[in-house]
Amino acid sequence: MTGKIVAIFATPEAGTPLQAVAEAILEGGRGLVGDHYYRHEGTFSKKLRDSADWEITLIEREEIQRFNQSQGACLSEGSFRRNIVTSGVKLNDLVGNRFHVGPALLEGIRLCEPCAYLGSLLGPTVVKGMAHRAGLRARIIAGATVRPGDSIGGGVLPGGLEISSLG
């Protein structure tokens, strides 16, 4: 199964709800053009300024659906405050690996664990219920414009498993 982008979210101001966008320009060393982290204005901007793991965040649609089902919740994809919602790819497997998101090249840096801020917005069950499932922090190696429907893949994991075959 090939992974794909199912939605893209951004917000120009810290603390405001993320909005779905039809496309996004990913810029290496900066992030998603128009998003508050692009201008270093996010909740963790000062803490993360010297690292690359604030540039872009991804989350699996399947994990959002699993959480909603297990908690009897109906949280929207944008409420999890990640930039790119994916389908058909296990993001945890991409830590330490390079992969394509549409024409852009990214590198998985670390898991994007749910934090106290997300818990304050969505409720305390999110922190425990989404631990090790809340997405991936990545840096942008080669930027490009990406859109929902773009594929995710184009890399190889340890053991020779192609990213595009993850599911």
Looking at residue 41, what is its pLDDT?
A: 72
Tell me what pLDDT residue 120 has. Answer: 55
Which whole-number Å values give the CA distances from 61 to 87, 92, 102, 148, 166, in the listed order? 6, 13, 17, 13, 14
Assess whether pLDDT exceeds 90 at residue 61.
yes
**What is the residue extent of each domain of the chain?**
3-147
Q: Measured between alpha carbons, how far is 151 from 112 in angstroms, rounded to an integer?
A: 21
pLDDT tens digits, one per residue of 24-35: 999 998 899 988
- CATH number (2.60.120.430, 3.40.50.150, 2.40.33.20, 3.30.230.10) of 3-147 reads 2.40.33.20
User: What is the rounded average pLDDT of the residues 82-90?
Assistant: 92
Beta bridge partners of 5: 86
Report the pLDDT value the prediction gives residue 147, as an integer from 0 to 100: 98
pLDDT digit string, tens, across residues 91-146: 999 999 999 999 999 999 998 766 656 555 666 766 565 666 678 999 999 999 99
DSSP state of 77: G
User: Is the Cα torsion angle 87, 6, 137, 159 positive or negative in sign?
Assistant: positive
> With contact defined as beta carbons under 8 Å apart, do 75 and 67 qualify?
yes
